[in-house]
Amino acid sequence: AQSVTQPDIHITVSEGASLELRCNYSYGATPYLFWYVQSPGQGLQLLLKYFSGDTLVQGIKGFEAEFKRSQSSFNLRKPSVHWSDAAEYFCAVGAQAAGNKLTFGGGTRVLVKP
Amino acid sequence: EPEVTQTPSHQVTQMGQEVILRCVPISNHLYFYWYRQILGQKVEFLVSFYNNEISEKSEIFDDQFSVERPDGSNFTLKIRSTKLEDSAMYFCASRSGTIETQYFGPGTRLLVL
């Protein structure tokens, strides 16, 4: 069965500082990996995805993530955070089976200090 | 840009009542999903739907739940007799092809009293 772990429940970062959110997954085959962001009271917006190919993927809003098969990780990074990046971030793994359901991690809530 | 829409945005109901949550997936998408997020918890898969039938469902999706695509545009989730623990945000998602990204709607917040 697939699973996703986001070890950090909360992260506080100063505006302009770099951000890294950790994600570890468990899946028997090559995973499809996603990062979604959820602002308060809002739905889930896709930041970026990895299906295959280049292990460093670029997303929207200046985010990037690196797939490391050896570490079963897909960490999300941003070099310089903005106050508008305060939100909850979810890592998800997708199955390759016909249903292709997503399994989400518990989320990391990011607070941005001025 | 096409997007998934959901109605209503909020719904309050009494325990034991039936509710129907509605979703309009992106028009050329073929695969449809419902997820839920209980307050403060992770997003959980409920059911996937393709070619007018359920392709996978979780253990949460018991006999009280059903899904339907009554016409070419809507995708509905029905809860026959709501329980307090059904209170959650319900997200609809859709995708176009076998490995394409799932796009999520804004969610319906359901409160069961």
B9-36 pLDDT, tens digit each: 999 999 999 999 999 999 889 999 999 9
B83-94 pLDDT, tens digit each: 999 999 999 999
Cβ neighbours of B31 in A, within 8 Å: 100
User: Does the structure show a pLDDT above 90 at B1?
Assistant: no
- How much is the pLDDT for B76? 97
Strand stretches in B1-113, DSSP E: 5-7, 10-13, 19-24, 31-37, 43-50, 53-57, 65-68, 75-79, 88-95, 103-104, 108-112
Instruction: Give the separation between CA A27 and CA A92, rounded to whole angstroms.
Output: 11
Q: Which of A101, A103, A104, A109 to mutate to test the interface with B (most CBs of B within 10 A)?
A: A101
DSSP state of A42: -
One-letter amino acid of A104 = F
- The mean pLDDT of B44-63, rounded to a whole number, is 93
Instruction: Give the separation between CA B107 and CA A22, rounded to whole angstroms.
Output: 26
- The mean pLDDT of B74-90, rounded to a whole number, is 96
Cβ neighbours of B42 in A, within 8 Å: 90, 104-107
Sign of CA dihedral A109, A111, B3, B7: positive
Tokens of A13: 């970062």
Cβ neighbours of A47 in B, within 8 Å: none
- How much is the pLDDT for A99? 65
A43, A106, A107 member nearest B91 (Cβ): A43
**pLDDT range class, residue A62, cuts 50, 70, 90:** very high
User: Does the structure show a pLDDT above 70 at A15?
Assistant: yes
Instruction: Give the separation between CA B34 and CA B29, rounded to whole angstroms.
Output: 14
Tokens of B5: 């829409």
Cβ neighbours of B58 in A, within 8 Å: 101
User: Does the structure show a pLDDT above 90 at A95?
Assistant: no
A49, A101, A105 member nearest B56 (Cβ): A101
User: Does the structure show a pLDDT above 90 at A87?
Assistant: yes
Tell me which of B12 and A52 has the higher pLDDT: B12
Average pLDDT, chain A: 92
| Percent of chain B clearing pLDDT 90 (strictly above) | 81
Q: Per the omega criterion (within 30 degrees of 0), is the bond before B25 cis?
A: no
Instruction: Give the separation between CA A23 and CA A105, rounded to whole angstroms.
Output: 8
Tell me which of A101 and B66 has the higher pLDDT: B66
3-state class of A85 per DSSP?
A: helix
Tokens of B94: 């859709």
**pLDDT range class, residue B58, cuts 50, 70, 90:** very high
Phi/psi at A68 (5° precision): -125, 105
